[in-house]
Amino acid sequence: MIFIDITELKRLQHKLEDLAYYDELTHILNRRAFFEQCEAYLDHMSHASTISIILFDIDYFKRINDSYGHYVGDRLLAHVAQVCREYLGEEAVFARYGGEEFVIALPGKSAPEGYALAEQLRSQLSMRPAQIAETSITVTSSFGVAEVAHATGETLHQLLHRADEALYQAKRGGRDRVCVSG
């Protein structure tokens, strides 16, 4: 008999999986994992099902990086992810979309339900300043919400585009607000 210790191999395999699917900074799903999970959901959802997407970003994030440095900016991103995780249920698919943008998929939820959750997150983020290196930073965020029913045949990319348009409507409307795609 020959015994081989594969503990180190398994540890490395687990680490590679983490790097492939999770954002190293925020410890939430990365964009690739978000797309995989949402595409799978869209492929298998019934004609009566819906999915809502919330796309949001941190208002004036570049100013924060420029004023306090990238270390503080990174800590702020982690803070936003942590606050959001506290309010999201297990069914939500939460990911870092890129830069200071985040995305949430809510399988089985309507646009009004997505709006209510986005409004709650927006409020919580603004009421819970990040405490970073003896600095308190108040966070405001702009949100865009879009919904699709499977029967429409709309793709994930089209849904994200509509959520992005709603996000920019929120920014044009003064920031720190939630807008729903029409």
Nearest to 164 by CA among 82, 110, 107, 102: 102
Nearest to 81 by CA among 105, 103, 107: 103
- Find the catalytic residue in 100, 101, 134, 154: 100
Residue 56, token pair as written in the block:
């949001």
Confidence of residue 4 (pLDDT cuts 50, 70, 90): low
Catalytic residue flag (residue 147) = no
Confidence of residue 47 (pLDDT cuts 50, 70, 90): confident
The CATH number fitting domain 26-180, selected from 3.30.70.270, 3.40.50.2000, 3.40.50.620, 3.20.20.370: 3.30.70.270
Mean pLDDT of the chain, nearest integer: 91
pLDDT at 48: 73
**What one-character DSSP code corresponds to residue 145?**
E
Query: Distance (Å, rounded) from C-alpha 159 to C-alpha 58?
Result: 21
Between 69 and 46, residue with greater pLDDT: 69
Task: Locate the domains of the chain by residue range.
Answer: 26-180
